[in-house]
Amino acid sequence: MIAISMDMEQYDCPFIDTTDDYDLSFSAVQWDFHHVDRELETRLIVEAYSRGALDTGLDRLQRHDNMHQVDLLSKRGDVAHIRTRIGQTNAMKVIRRNGGYITGPFHIEAGSETWHVGFDNDGVADGALSELDRNNEFTIESRDRVEIPMLGDFIQNVDAAMTLIEGCRDLSDVEWRTLEAAANAGYFETPRETTLGALADEFDISKPAVSKNLRRAEQKLLGRAIDAMDRVD
């Protein structure tokens, strides 16, 4: 399998158009293509910086020419779960016509969309990308050949991967930023390339405080990593 990740700009996609005008994002939870109606049904998580921005963006989405249906499944604060049906876009048509298929969730923000698609071989992939280039703007972020053992390994260890993702989500914003700054500055290298004092100065807090934030982040991630190791086949 040829696995391709790309940054896509579809000119006829309601989600891309909406995020181009409004500060919100869409992340796919589920999708299903209806062959008879030529429609894509999706369930998505919508996130905005405020409840007002969320409501405004959803209203704009519902009025898009290529949006056939929007159902609000749930909403809490500035996050919503929706079900939609949109008409087939040009890019969707090209991918399907050339034997392509979706291999992972897509994310839409700031007028572009992250796609994860697969093709059975290089020739098919090259043909699809050539045709796709006629009416769409996109950038290939990665292109990899995924062999059968690698694909099987990924499928069998999805639970372990999700455990690690949950560990990242457990981190508070302060813990995340502190851990990221420490790693980027070389705090975990041997010998260390920065100190607690330098990190404390960067965040304008005391050395004990920055040390506490690092320990909390490490404990959360290490706990999840051990859980993930137990799940790896």
Which part of the chain is CATH 1.10.10?
A: 154-231
Q: Which residue has the tokens 């050339």?
A: 98
Which strand (E) or helix (H) includes residue 61? helix 51-62
Q: Which three-class secondary structure state does DSSP give residue 111?
A: coil
The pLDDT of residue 233 is 61
Q: How confident is the model at residue 157 (pLDDT cuts 50, 70, 90)?
A: low
- Which pLDDT score is estimated for 127? 93
CA distance 217 to 233: 26
* Residue bearing tokens 């008409």: 87
pLDDT at 151 exceeding the cut of 60: no
CA angle at 26 for the pair 51 and 88, rounded to the nearest 5°? 130
Spatial contact of 198 and 187, defined as CB atoms under 8 Å apart? no
| Model pLDDT for residues 119-138, shown as the tens digit of each residue | 999 999 999 999 999 888 89
What is the average pLDDT across 166-184?
87
CA distance 231 to 74: 32
If you average pLDDT over residues 215-230, what whole number do you get? 84
Confidence of residue 214 (pLDDT cuts 50, 70, 90): very high
Residue 78 has a pLDDT of 92
Question: In the chain, what percentage of residues exceed pLDDT 90?
Answer: 51
d(CA 68, CA 52): 23
Instruction: For residue 69, list its beta bridge partners.
Output: 85
Nearest Cα to Cα of residue 215 among 230, 231, 228, 199: 199
- pLDDT confidence of residue 221: 84
Q: What is the pLDDT of residues 37-89, one digit of tens each?
A: 889 899 999 999 899 999 999 999 999 999 999 999 999 999 999 999 999 89
Q: Which of 41, 21, 22, 39 is nearest to 31 (CA)?
A: 41
> What whole-number distance in Å separates Cα of residue 228 and Cα of residue 232?
6
- In this structure, of 11-20, 113-122, 164-173, the range with the lowest mean pLDDT score is 164-173
Q: Which fold has domain 154-231?
A: Arc Repressor Mutant, subunit A (1.10.10)
Instruction: With a cut of 60, say whether residue 16 has pLDDT above it.
Output: yes
Please report the pLDDT score of residue 226 as a whole number.
Answer: 82
> 8, 91 in Cβ contact below 8 A?
yes
Q: Which two tokens mark 164?
A: 């690690």
pLDDT at 153: 60
pLDDT band at residue 112 under the 50/70/90 scheme: confident
